[in-house]
Structure 1
């Protein structure tokens, strides 16, 4: 049971679960609410912002997805909101939007940017994306050719899941984001959105728990030097991989890491600066005196014990640009911590440690 807590009167007001239809909430109301705060759809610490670059939000006069975005790998991310349950028609609608980007995805995204989020920025879409993806040399031809579909709704039926599994088998990931509405006795509305982790390409969204648990463990962590300069050196000194700022605390590191798993450290603007081995899968809260993120002052810092090996002498950090040139896909640099499944990517970033 959820309650609204008034700290002045110490009163608890029950928040009653309601459906959008019963509360007279229009689908457009939800669309506009999520479009104004698209970051709520994706899990990310407040310090890092959204793992996607918003290109354009829904406008009343145009038939389009509610939110158009790209991720750091250059994948087109289309987000559709529904006030009720999502069925196969919701995916059909998104696929029709995605089809409009088939001929020249980059040109279409540039136009969306000019009339959308980039309208008042004075920046070209390619420049904005290069900065976002930490890859100053990325070619326009690699942007928007792969697609990710995201549906935000109160629920999903079997037809939705059947089509979603089929699309994933064809290389198009489909994510479902649960949404719920609550109402106070006075009619005030509250919305709950359970955000998702946007997994790197090659990762199964609908894979079983057994498949995820038995997948070999190769991971990447972003050291977040942008917001905590010198973090990588402190990772080495303390023998940890660290995250901070997530509202759900340690959940990001509790992703199935096992003792012996390989973890690569990515430093923004530099590349893969270290390779380590997880000592165990235990995630612990940083205690006073053990913090590696001095900017974290609320205790919401979490560690995973790792034996780190910096780039060997005479070798250079593998950059995101090099990975893209050699494999055709970039690193998920906007993910804080994630599993790497693509064998060719893992081979390239591991080359400095090969004898």
Structure 2
């Protein structure tokens, strides 16, 4: 059951902002096409109104940084049960798409631009060797009935990668707002699906651990991350938006390229520009302008959220100096700033090197 969202306007009086149904679902579709960060910050659009072999049309087809395809379907005038059946029908077609199929669809929707180039521009990484190893179905709706909720939950419990995202539309004067709520927490849904799918080519994810690259430079320094409790990325939204996958409560292992793993902690806040991040020193909130940083350009592009550093708060359970980093050729590492940490050998090595961070696992 999704949590109901409400908004109150604070002024001389406290007023509840009324929910207003979108006049046209095409308006929501246009918003999703313009900014896929609305349903998921880690997606790149492959195509819109993609024709299937049965002459039906997928509203939006996207890909994530791991090469998994995402089908995003609006409920439109269909009954909730019908849209679930339709999404499953699309999944049966999407699962057969190969690299050349995806490249063709992308080129048709992007004026002939190459899919590999678009992927590199979006994720600052080369296309994974394996494409479409799995896929995700997302239904966009303003509401669904309890029976359909039970159907979706049943499918997830039995390994079907499907979820529902709800959008509420609020208006205050000339300003309009969308509020997003998931039927099932995306991380929990992914864990349930992977637990059921014994034929996956990659190791299952435990629903908890993330790998995060902390690229040291004049923009960010490990000493600052330890001192103030954060991880960061910046100099472009294609970098900083990856941090939005990290939600409070998840465990993160920080990796510095060419150095190794230097810390493990728990995420405490969602990603936010550095100017809005709450810095606490000795229990007191301090303005960022009053703080010393080892990185000389930590406050770069301070007033521009497109380019500035974005931070997620982290409560470090255990950190080490770079000279004591966990290294080894067998340990997991890759070019993505944020990804799920699945490699069991790496997790076991981290537990030995950072035992304070894995105490609950061994209890």
- The normalised TM-score by structure 2 is 0.63
Is the alpha carbon distance of 1:334 and 1:193 closer, same or farther for their aligned partners in structure 2, counting shifts above 3 Å? Answer: farther
* Match among 141, 150, 154 for residue 162 of structure 1: 150
Is the alpha carbon distance of 1:235 and 1:198 closer, same or farther for their aligned partners in structure 2, counting shifts above 3 Å? Answer: farther
Structure-2 residue corresponding to 1:89 = 82
Structure-1 residue corresponding to 2:21 = 19
- What 5-or-longer segments of structure 1 have no aligned partner? 43-49, 208-214, 322-332
In the aligned structure 2, how far is the partner of 1:223 from the partner of 1:163?
41
Structure-1 residue corresponding to 2:198 = none
In the aligned structure 1, how far is the partner of 2:258 from the partner of 2:83?
39
Structure-2 residue corresponding to 1:304 = 314
- CA deviation digits over 1:17-61, x for unaligned, max 9? 2334xxxx233333233222222222xxxxxxx311211123799
Q: How far apart are 1:108 and its partner, in Å?
A: 2.2
In the aligned structure 2, how far is the partner of 1:119 from the partner of 1:251?
30
Is the alpha carbon distance of 1:318 and 1:294 closer, same or farther for their aligned partners in structure 2, counting shifts above 3 Å? Answer: farther
* Match among 160, 178, 193 for residue 192 of structure 1: 178
Structure-1 residue corresponding to 2:220 = 231
- Is 1:264 equivalent to 2:283 in the alignment? no
* Match among 254, 278, 284 for residue 285 of structure 1: 278
In the aligned structure 2, how far is the partner of 1:236 from the partner of 1:184?
38
- Is 1:242 equivalent to 2:231 in the alignment? yes
Is the alpha carbon distance of 1:301 and 1:202 closer, same or farther for their aligned partners in structure 2, counting shifts above 3 Å? Answer: closer
Contact 2:165 2:181 (C-alpha < 8 Å) held by counterparts = yes
SS at match of 1:73: coil
Tell me: higher relative CO, structure 1 or 2? Use CA pairs within 8 A at least 6 residues apart: 1
In the aligned structure 1, how far is the partner of 2:123 from the partner of 2:233?
21
Structure-2 residue corresponding to 1:324 = none
In the aligned structure 1, how far is the partner of 2:140 from the partner of 2:89?
17
In the aligned structure 2, how far is the partner of 1:151 from the partner of 1:31?
12
Q: Number of aligned residue pairs: give it.
A: 300
- The normalised TM-score by structure 1 is 0.64
Contact 1:13 1:184 (C-alpha < 8 Å) held by counterparts = no
In the aligned structure 1, how far is the partner of 2:133 from the partner of 2:326?
38
* Match among 103, 107, 125 for residue 110 of structure 1: 103
The root-mean-square deviation of aligned C-alpha atoms, in Å, is 4.8
Q: How far apart are 1:152 and its partner, in Å?
A: 1.5
